[in-house]
Structure 1
């Protein structure tokens, strides 16, 4: 095989893999490690990490380091083969999944993958979680298998991600309609007590996380239990006055329930936040 043929071979390998290929894939096509080194010395390929290269001229993307790590998990098989199989050998998960799906605002300097079997790595920036992830629990994002928004949130709750960061992820997932509130509340039931909500009350946990994220977005603190108690006492005193009789009649109407649904919608709160930023309200 001539030098030009070998260069075309690695270029073909890189197609469909974000302009990248592995040394194992190249060796399977008859391209030696020595030739790869010569290509790297001539800047025709760039070494992304041990055993993974990028063809010169391929478009750059912020996700490339994560993609290179994923390719290295099963270097002998192509990305297409792994995606088409029952097990893609590594699903992007936890903080890495949240980052790819643009949920929340967490550091993602560690590349997190969920794998079906325990495995070790020498890379300090790679973390594995062992679990059998079903096909319904991941979808493709930028060509990578990534846990679904609901699965990502559940994984973050299971690893005790702090409430502030988890609230940001939940808020963004609801605001962008990547998840629905009721299924998410059901999925989070077992973690409710870990975040101060009543045992098994996933809806209360979601409500708490929404309130926390909304307060953070609007720049106001979450009220303490004592403050909530004082507000409730004041509300009872006000409700006993005759002036609120008409309001109570309205509250029982279908129109009032429609208004309440709008007020609970995260998108409505986000719109208020944008108007406040613009100085309109």
Structure 2
């Protein structure tokens, strides 16, 4: 992992591209994703996902939850998780309850995030949907709470 977080053994390289492309390189996967400027940061001179977007991407890829929790743990301990609102918004993609999923990941990681309690209190029982902004949580969205 580019950010040096978590305990991963890479089985290949994933690159995000804005449009469908192919490659014949073994071990290289190209995934179509439209990223915004606030989802990308330079790491060692190479563009990479922000830590918050990377965590959501690992969830989207259905990576083992304990491995994702390890990334969250390392990110919190290294003070590299800096935008809670973006983390929740990214996690809320695909109709998930981003706020609840973030809370569950923090619990699984065994960490306390500075500002999380205050932030969660201010946002109340809402989740942030990356496509549509803040909404009140509904019971139908809760079914995906523990599903990756």
Map 1:10-159 to 2 at 5 A. Answer: 99-159=1-61
The question of 1:171 aligning with 2:73 is answered yes
1:182 is displaced (CA, Å) by 3.2
For the pair shown, the structure with the greater C-alpha radius of gyration is 1
Seen in structure 2, the aligned counterparts of structure 1 residues 139 and 182 have a Cα distance that, compared at 3 Å, is closer
Seen in structure 2, the aligned counterparts of structure 1 residues 190 and 137 have a Cα distance that, compared at 3 Å, is closer
Match of 1:11 in 2: none
**1:89-117 per-position Cα deviation (integer Å, ceiling 9, x unaligned):** xxxxxxxxxx1101111122311100112
In structure 1, the gaps of 5 or more residues are 1-98, 194-199, 215-262, 267-281
TM-score (norm 1): 0.36
- Alignment: residue pair count: 113
TM-score (norm 2): 0.65
| Aligned counterparts of 2:95 and 2:65: Cα–Cα separation in 1 | 11
Higher helix share: 1
Higher strand share: 2
In structure 2, the gaps of 5 or more residues are 115-148
| Aligned counterparts of 1:209 and 1:192: Cα–Cα separation in 2 | 17
1:265 is displaced (CA, Å) by 4.3
Q: Which of 1 and 2 has higher RCO (CA within 8 Å, sep 6+)?
A: 2
The question of 1:210 aligning with 2:106 is answered yes
